[in-house]
Protein backbone atom coordinates (compact mmCIF):
# COMPACT_ATOMS: atom_id res chain seq x y z
CA UNK A 1 0.00 0.00 0.00
CA UNK A 2 1.33 3.42 -0.89
CA UNK A 3 1.67 6.31 1.53
CA UNK A 4 -0.68 9.07 0.45
CA UNK A 5 -0.30 12.78 0.96
CA UNK A 6 -3.30 14.92 1.79
CA UNK A 7 -3.55 15.90 -1.88
CA UNK A 8 -3.56 12.29 -3.07
CA UNK A 9 -6.33 11.47 -0.59
CA UNK A 10 -8.44 14.43 -1.72
CA UNK A 11 -8.08 13.39 -5.36
CA UNK A 12 -9.06 9.78 -4.61
CA UNK A 13 -11.91 10.84 -2.31
CA UNK A 14 -13.45 13.04 -4.99
CA UNK A 15 -13.59 10.29 -7.61
CA UNK A 16 -16.91 8.55 -8.35
CA UNK A 17 -15.40 5.25 -7.24
CA UNK A 18 -14.89 4.02 -3.69
CA UNK A 19 -11.59 5.12 -2.14
CA UNK A 20 -10.02 3.88 1.08
CA UNK A 21 -7.57 5.65 3.36
CA UNK A 22 -6.03 3.58 6.12
CA UNK A 23 -4.77 5.80 8.94
CA UNK A 24 -2.24 4.49 11.45
CA UNK A 25 0.71 5.28 13.67
CA UNK A 26 3.93 3.25 13.43
CA UNK A 27 4.19 2.43 17.15
CA UNK A 28 0.61 1.16 17.50
CA UNK A 29 0.40 -2.62 17.95
CA UNK A 30 -3.24 -2.76 16.88
CA UNK A 31 -2.31 -0.79 13.76
CA UNK A 32 0.25 -3.43 12.85
CA UNK A 33 -2.45 -6.11 12.91
CA UNK A 34 -4.83 -3.85 10.96
CA UNK A 35 -2.07 -3.21 8.39
CA UNK A 36 -1.90 -6.92 7.65
CA UNK A 37 -5.67 -7.04 7.19
CA UNK A 38 -5.49 -4.08 4.82
CA UNK A 39 -2.87 -5.86 2.71
CA UNK A 40 -5.36 -8.70 2.23
CA UNK A 41 -8.17 -6.24 1.45
CA UNK A 42 -5.93 -4.61 -1.15
CA UNK A 43 -5.71 -7.95 -2.95
CA UNK A 44 -9.50 -8.50 -2.79
CA UNK A 45 -10.79 -5.17 -4.12
CA UNK A 46 -10.06 -2.95 -7.08
CA UNK A 47 -10.51 0.39 -5.28
CA UNK A 48 -7.92 3.09 -4.70
CA UNK A 49 -6.29 2.35 -1.35
CA UNK A 50 -3.72 4.46 0.42
CA UNK A 51 -2.32 4.72 3.89
CA UNK A 52 -1.19 7.67 5.97
CA UNK A 53 0.65 8.15 9.24
CA UNK A 54 -1.65 10.35 11.31
CA UNK A 55 1.39 12.06 12.85
CA UNK A 56 1.91 13.84 9.52
CA UNK A 57 -1.75 14.67 8.81
CA UNK A 58 -2.93 16.40 11.98
CA UNK A 59 -5.42 18.65 10.19
CA UNK A 60 -7.00 15.62 8.57
CA UNK A 61 -7.54 14.06 11.98
CA UNK A 62 -9.35 17.16 13.21
CA UNK A 63 -11.35 17.63 10.02
CA UNK A 64 -12.67 14.06 9.99
CA UNK A 65 -12.90 13.88 13.78
CA UNK A 66 -10.72 10.77 13.91
CA UNK A 67 -10.94 9.46 17.45
CA UNK A 68 -8.28 6.75 17.38
CA UNK A 69 -6.10 4.62 15.19
CA UNK A 70 -6.28 2.42 13.31
CA UNK A 71 -8.98 4.11 11.27
CA UNK A 72 -10.27 3.34 7.80
CA UNK A 73 -11.98 6.12 5.87
CA UNK A 74 -14.25 4.94 3.07
CA UNK A 75 -15.21 7.65 0.59
CA UNK A 76 -17.16 7.94 -2.62
CA UNK A 77 -18.11 10.98 -4.72
CA UNK A 78 -16.26 13.40 -2.45
CA UNK A 79 -17.83 12.26 0.83
CA UNK A 80 -16.52 10.09 3.62
CA UNK A 81 -19.33 7.59 4.06
CA UNK A 82 -17.81 5.34 6.75
CA UNK A 83 -15.15 5.48 9.42
CA UNK A 84 -14.07 2.12 10.81
CA UNK A 85 -12.08 1.82 14.02
CA UNK A 86 -12.68 -1.83 14.93
CA UNK A 87 -10.90 -3.95 12.33
CA UNK A 88 -12.64 -7.13 13.45
CA UNK A 89 -11.67 -9.36 10.52
CA UNK A 90 -10.99 -9.27 6.81
CA UNK A 91 -14.52 -10.53 5.94
CA UNK A 92 -16.02 -7.83 8.20
CA UNK A 93 -14.02 -5.09 6.46
CA UNK A 94 -14.76 -6.51 3.02
CA UNK A 95 -18.52 -6.57 3.71
CA UNK A 96 -18.56 -2.95 4.90
CA UNK A 97 -16.53 -1.78 1.92
CA UNK A 98 -18.78 -3.63 -0.52
CA UNK A 99 -21.91 -2.22 1.15
CA UNK A 100 -20.67 1.32 0.53
CA UNK A 101 -19.96 0.48 -3.11
CA UNK A 102 -23.41 -1.09 -3.56
CA UNK A 103 -25.19 2.09 -2.39
- DSSP 8-state code for residue 12: H
Give tens-digit pLDDT for 28-53. Answer: 999 999 999 999 999 999 999 999 99
Domain containing 76 — which CATH number?
Answer: 3.40.30.10
Mean pLDDT value across residues 75-92: 96
List the one residue out of 48, 91, 93, 47 whose CA is nearest residue 70. 93
% of the chain with per-residue pLDDT over 70 = 100
Q: Is residue 103 one of the residues assigned to a domain?
A: no
pLDDT value of residue 102: 83
Enumerate the H helices of the chain as residue ranges.
6-13, 29-44, 58-63, 90-102
What is the band of 89 on the pLDDT scale with cuts at 50, 70, 90? very high
Q: Which residue range(s) make up the domain with 28?
A: 2-98
Q: How many domains does the chain have?
A: 1
Q: Is residue 61 one of the residues assigned to a domain?
A: yes
How far, rounded to the nearest angstrom, does the alpha carbon of residue 95 sit from its chain's CA centroid? 14
Amino acid sequence: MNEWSREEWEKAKNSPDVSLLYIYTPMCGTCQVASKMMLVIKELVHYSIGQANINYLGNLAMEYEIESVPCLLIAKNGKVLKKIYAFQSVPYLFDIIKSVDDN
